[in-house]
Chain A
Amino acid sequence: MARKHIPKLAVWKFASCDGCQLSLLDCEDEFLALAGVIDIANFPEATRTKKRGPYDLSLVEGSISTMRDRERIQKVRRQSKYLVTIGACATAGGVQALRNGRDIAEFMSVVYARPDYIDTLATSTPISDHVKVDFELRGCPINKSQLLELITAFLHGRRPAIATTSVCAECKARGTVCVMTAKQAPCLGPVTQAGCGAICPAYDRSCYGCFGPMESPNTVSLKEQWRNLGANEKDIRRAFQTFNAGAPEFLNAARGHADKNN
């Protein structure tokens, strides 16, 4: 009698804080049910079991920042039928991409007395710079509802329903008053991809862009609006240089590229 194929899930970690893979364990109501429909074949943070590949679904957390990891991601790709990056590190290089373009030797010397013991690259780069990525989940951290949607969609063989609109759409949907118009607070919501549920404005704080750039963001216009609200160039540069510092649209906005006013 033919047995139904239970898909194999693998979770991989590169340079990261572990927060995005923790999101899976944070699904307290769904985790055991999930383990009943998908075979957790490789997830070192949660289990000693390590089953051999190939894996039907690989979730990759973290960025590539060492020579060892640059090789390891190739092996992960070869063993993975469908590879999804989870979070800002894997998708854009993470906060550690702030080293890119800086003096890495000097960076190392601040932390380590013996930099020669340390395996590190001068850059922290997203997974898609190294291998083909089938889907990307945004966020620093990812949203666990989006993670469950991704896995459910995968199990049903459909494309995940993940919005690519801006955070503004989520503020409108939840009825949050705009912090830019009501409080004159410079906000990254208009150029940041939705997915978090627009938490920050709901907490009286402007969006700080942890889900990274939306599709075709108008950063030039937003920067002008920020200046009108009193932000200086340092404020603007810093705002685009955080957890998605390596995302091209934010990197260009921080450097003033494609910016008519600079």
Chain B
Amino acid sequence: MPTRTIKVDYLARVEGEGALSLRIRDGVVTDAKLKIFEPPRFFESLLRGRAFTEAPDVTARICGICPVAYQMSAVHAMENAAGICVTGPLRDLRRLLYCGEWIESHALHVFLLHAPDFLGFDDAVAMARDHGDIVKTGLAIKKAGNAIVSLIGGREIHPINIRVGGFYRTPSKNELKALARTLEPVLDDVVKALHWAQTLPFPDYEAPYDFVSLFHGEEYPFNEGRIVSTSGLDISADAYENHFIEYQEPHSTALHSLIKGHGAYLVGPMARFHFNRALLTPMATMAAKEADLAGGCVNPFKSILIRLIEILFALEEALRLIDNYVEPESPAIAVEPKVSIGHSATEAPRGLLYHRYCLDAVGDILEAKIVPPTSQNQKTIENDLKDVAQQYVALPDEELQWRCEQTIRNYDPCISCSAHFLKLNVERQRSAEAPHGN
């Protein structure tokens, strides 16, 4: 029997260009690689010489799906460098903005990119022919998230209203009340979607993850908190580079990451949920219980449920923030630059996003370091891929390939962020055959 090689031109429904290869010898998966060949854009290089005030707008362009995350990590790092802290209504507005991004980004992934996998559809348009109501519900939820980003940020993609120290213009209480009226009906939509999602066929797979996320202690984390890990890490953002190492693999334009002395780890919704689920809002807590996830979740295929729970949380949190909102006296506080280094880690929809900047006396950037969530997850994605492929190795090539694609999509990888286009290559060999024989 000849070596079986399956080639798929791309793994679709991910953000960015990558490829994937799988080698199977005598029924044993010997190698699984996530190859990322997104063209590098050298943000860390081109930020040098720019003003500290430009970082939020420049770094937003790293990702069109989660620009708010880049803006939030950038402004907090710059404020950390200046030794100031934004509090009160401005801090709340930043949380509200982040709620919007989590909702739109998670809804995009849950309904348009991930759900079709469970039901065997190529895309949400095909899925809508049989499940029109759920796709329409998903689009309505996504629209609610975009409505928040649009009002607070000025527009959905690459918001224009975020600056170091706060905002250019803050919304009136009435504008937020009108927004709340559009968000309220969506709560029920999410609850219904969660009931539906629980009926999806979940592959039986669990993995012993080393989770990494922010932990705040009093609130589900967006912009503040300590970086904690299952393996026992408990550090502030300024110690990040003492404990995490980045290294380059030949098959990826996105740098890989490891925890020193431990290895591969996982950031994102499952990690946040692991450490912070006691701090979820009432409806989200109830939903987690109903989904039988109150004790945690280590099945990556069920991350679709965690994302829905986080959407529900973000909606409730948005409504709470709007209710408590008092218009601030000024849209921003003054930030005076100095020779300094600033660090920040915030929770992008896909997980921890670390920024560090070195500034000169007038606030020009001398050095920048940015570590996106998907690049940090690469090694864990490869580990999962190998294990899942092994578990399902008896499946015919076409089904195995789809299962592998789904495994990658579990992580909502944002390859544009991390350095698009995933190509899956399954190579099956028998030991007596030449590696590239046909």
Contact = CB atoms under 8 A, between A and B. Distances in A.
A122 B53 CA distance: 27
A19 B169 contact: no
Given A13-B17, A18-B416, A108-B42, A199 B63 contact: no
Interface in B43-92: 44-46, 48, 50-51, 54, 57-58, 61-65, 67
B142 A28 contact: yes
A20 B416 CA distance: 12
A35 B248 CA distance: 40
Nearest to B46: A98
A113 B247 contact: yes
A111 B42 contact: yes
Interface stretch (B119-127, B209-217, B313-321, B351-359): B119-127
Given A69-B39, A95-B61, A47 B122 contact: yes
B208 interface: no
Nearest to B54: A238
A44 B421 contact: yes
Contacts of A117: 248, 250, 253
A95 B125 contact: no
A13 B420 contact: yes
A120 B40 contact: yes
A243 B61 contact: yes
Contact of B63 (A18, A50, A96, A204): A18
B274 to A, nearest CB: 28
Contacts, number: 186
A19 B67 contact: yes
A205 B42 contact: no
A215 interface: no
Given A14-B39, A18-B15, A111 B416 contact: no
Given A46-B124, A112-B248, A19 B39 contact: no
Given A19-B157, A28-B143, A50-B9, A205 B169 contact: yes
Interface residues of B, number: 66
B12 A46 contact: yes
Contacts of B122: 47-49
B66 to A, nearest CB: 10
A96 B135 contact: no
A21 B37 CA distance: 19
Contacts of B14: 45
Contacts of A21: 64
Contacts of A13: 17, 420-421
A110 B421 CA distance: 25
B279 interface: no
Contact of B46 (A35, A49, A107, A114): A107
A114 to B, nearest CB: 5
Contacts of A77: none
B157 A45 contact: no
B13 interface: yes
Contacts of A45: 12-15, 420
A125 to B, nearest CB: 12
Contacts of A68: 37
Contacts of B244: none
Nearest to B139: A28
Contacts of B331: 204
B58 A40 contact: no
A169 to B, nearest CB: 18
29 contacts: A17-B416, A18-B64, A18-B416, A19-B64, A21-B64, A22-B64, A23-B157, A25-B112, A26-B146, A28-B146, A32-B132, A44-B13, A45-B13, A47-B123, A47-B125, A48-B13, A66-B39, A94-B41, A99-B42, A106-B45, A112-B255, A114-B248, A117-B253, A140-B158, A200-B168, A203-B154, A203-B168, A238-B50, A243-B61
Interface of A: 13-23, 25-26, 28-29, 31-32, 35, 40, 44-50, 62, 65-66, 68-69, 94-96, 98-99, 106-108, 110-114, 117-120, 124, 140-141, 196, 199-200, 202-205, 208, 210, 238, 242-243
Given A17-B61, A22-B157, A114-B250, 17 more contacts: A13-B421, A17-B64, A22-B108, A32-B128, A35-B125, A40-B125, A50-B10, A50-B12, A69-B39, A106-B45, A108-B40, A111-B44, A113-B247, A119-B39, A124-B41, A199-B154, A203-B154
